[in-house]
Amino acid sequence: MDSIDLEVLKTAAGWIADGLRCQLVTVIKTWGSSPRPIGATLAICGDGRVVGSVSGGCIEDDLIEQVRGHGIARSVPEIVSYGISADEAHRFGLPCGGTIELAIEPLSPASALTELLARLARHELVARRLDLRSGAVSLERAAPGTVQHIAGDILCTVHGPRWRLFIIGAGQLSRFVAQVASAMDYHVTVCDPREEYRSGWQLPEVPLLHVMPDDLVIEARLDSRSAVLALTHDPKLDDLALMEALKSDAFYVGAIGSRLNNARRRERLKLFDLDAAQLARLHGPVGLYIGSKTPAEIAISILAEMTAVKNGVPAALLVNHAAALSAPLDDACVRA
């Protein structure tokens, strides 16, 4: 499953390869309450086909209407704004008087989308630099933490996996988590030394490594844009990897299991050289409490909690499984 950003780029590259005129629209600035964040993209083909989104739909309708009425008329990029007046905010569905600024770029083989996609396939984090005066494009490797910005007449957009997720265990739940996380711009790596699980892995786009999980966690050099999930229920695989992850800068470390099993896990981890603050970083039972029962629902629960932590949502606003009174105390199965 591709991320939205990747889907837009692949579709636009296909239109260019077919000799079709198209343009790329990128959100570069917002004021007030805008429906889509900075960096959101939309590609429009000359025949009116569209992929991606830059608003709740009303701005897309206006952009498509312009293309259908006038074609792809631009020869160089242009910056346009929507929602400056109250009437426009109402017309384009921008709540609370929100305003959105877009860069509209006509695309061609010189737009370097083919090269960009090739580099993204190698899991590179790439900065695409667009000259807003001439439309010239250059690509370079982006440093971790690089964000979209404008410097003078240069718009720099960032593409590729912004975050890393390491999953211990290659079971069914791991497959659902890996699929959704990949669509959320995570570079997902799964680790499982158990042959019986490795042979059934069905996501060729997500690497499955046959190494011990703690070795992987050490070699990964986890940073503040990394997350680790232990999903095996096997202390021999989970505990040492969790110990290393909790000592790292990873923004999220979680483990599946019931509250009882997680209490036992914490007691085991106390035997290692972890202090109270490090142990407190462990999310377990993992995930927000949404009544999840199936692997797909549990995956959503886990990624919802990861997203909340990544975005700095206060813990007081969240109800996780550890705090949910209705979660059975002795449920040792797949409660996230």
Q: Please, are residues 228 and 244 in contact by the beta-carbon 8 Å criterion? A: no
Q: How many CB atoms are located within 10 Å of the residue 325 CB?
A: 7
What per-residue confidence (pLDDT) applies to 205?
84
Give this prediction's pTM. 0.71
Name the residue with higher pLDDT: 293 or 215.
215
Q: DSSP for 66-94?
A: HHHHH-S--SS-EEEEE--SHHHHHHTT-
Name the more confident of 56 and 237: 237
Give which of 268, 266, 232, 258 is closest to 327, Cα–Cα. Answer: 258
Every domain of the chain and the residues it spans: 4-159, 163-317
Cite the beta strand spans of 184-288 per DSSP E.
Answer: 186-191, 208-209, 226-230, 252-255, 282-283
Mean pLDDT of 187-204: 89
Residue 66 reports pLDDT greater than 80: yes
176 falls in which pLDDT band (50, 70, 90)?
very high
Q: Is 170's pLDDT higher than 60?
A: yes
Q: Answer yes or no: are the C-beta atoms of 13 and 5 closer than 8 Å.
A: no
pLDDT at 278 over 60: yes
Using pLDDT thresholds of 50, 70 and 90, give the confidence band for residue 22: very high
Which CATH code, of 3.40.630.10, 3.40.50.720, 3.20.20.100, 1.10.10.350, is assigned to 163-317? 3.40.50.720
